[in-house]
Amino acid sequence: MALHLVTGGAGFIGSHLTERLLADGHDVRVLDDFSSGKEANLGFTPSAKGGRLETLRGDVSDMETARSAVAGVECVFHQAAIPSVPRSIGNPAATHRANATGTLNLLIAACDAKVDRFVYASSSSVYGDTPTLPKVETMTPAPLSPYAISKLSAEHYARVFHRIYGLPTIGLRYFNIFGPRQDPTSQYAAVVPRFITAIAAGRAPVVYGDGEQTRDFNYVGNAVEANLRAAVCQSSAFGMSFNIACGKRISLLELIDRINGIFGTRIAPVHEESRPGDVKHSLADIAAAEKHLQWRPATGLDEALRITADWFSRTTPRAER
């Protein structure tokens, strides 16, 4: 089977993608600097037809590392990033270096190595806080944070590398991906693991703002499938970026209600001030991904929350009642 590269392969989404590729029989090279990725995320149980796993410790912002990573690779799945809006506001240079410069380095290396496909993670944050819903790929981007700018910059580079150099690139604009292995302890943690671990432990989840902000939450398994579809789709998708979401939105308060329902609790949130750079509402139009990638989300929100809550409940003890 082919050798594929997964950058950020020890991280949340990257480790799920790595696990799936290995299970499908592919050999996988993981490039990760382990600044946020964890070696424990790569401790998979081998399947009968599993491929071989190679781990390369390094930083995508280093060109020589990028060249070493793509050597002999058929497809690049570029997931590595500093994935936090608040962190990018605190340190915009580090975010740009990892997300924009790192992507540019990999594009150059992939082009020189003549890889067959370059699939990369973008973000719904490129849309900003425009009131129009749902977000459609043809809308003019209006990023609100250094993180969003870095992701949009990567998209522009990828499109140009396809147009000028003929590199087959496909961008996936993730909307609020969640699932097992997502880190709930970081100060920049996403809301689903924060809410689940808090409620499982009998604590009040923290909501920034009034909680009426809405998000289009999507299960990590759906995102993995989108990557796999992008790796084999028709050339009509090259140079484009696609929304990867469920096409439905709920408020953070409703999300808390659903998690309470899973655990049989009635824990109310505590509210803190809104954070700069956060968007108020988010909802994706996924028609383009359906058309060009032949992709639709297979796992809905309620099922995904139950799967995720079950995983976290095995590592987060519930409070005595």
The catalytic residue positions are 147
Instruction: Name residues whose C-beta falls within 8 Å of residue 39's C-beta, 6 or more positions apart in sequence.
Output: 10
Cα separations (Å) of 107 from 75, 161, 205, 289?
12, 7, 40, 22
What six digits make up the tokens of 62? 């280093």
Residues 79 and 180: beta-carbon distance below 8 Å? no
- 250-251 and 214-215: which strand pairing? antiparallel
What six digits make up the tokens of 272? 């803190």
By three-state DSSP, how is residue 244 classified?
Answer: strand
Please report how the helices 301-313 and 191-200 are oriented relative to each other, as an axis angle in degrees rounded to 10.
50
Cα separations (Å) of 256 from 185, 190, 205, 302, 317?
18, 13, 8, 12, 18
Measured between alpha carbons, how far is 219 from 8 in angstroms, rounded to an integer? 18
Measured between alpha carbons, how far is 113 from 91 in angstroms, rounded to an integer? 32
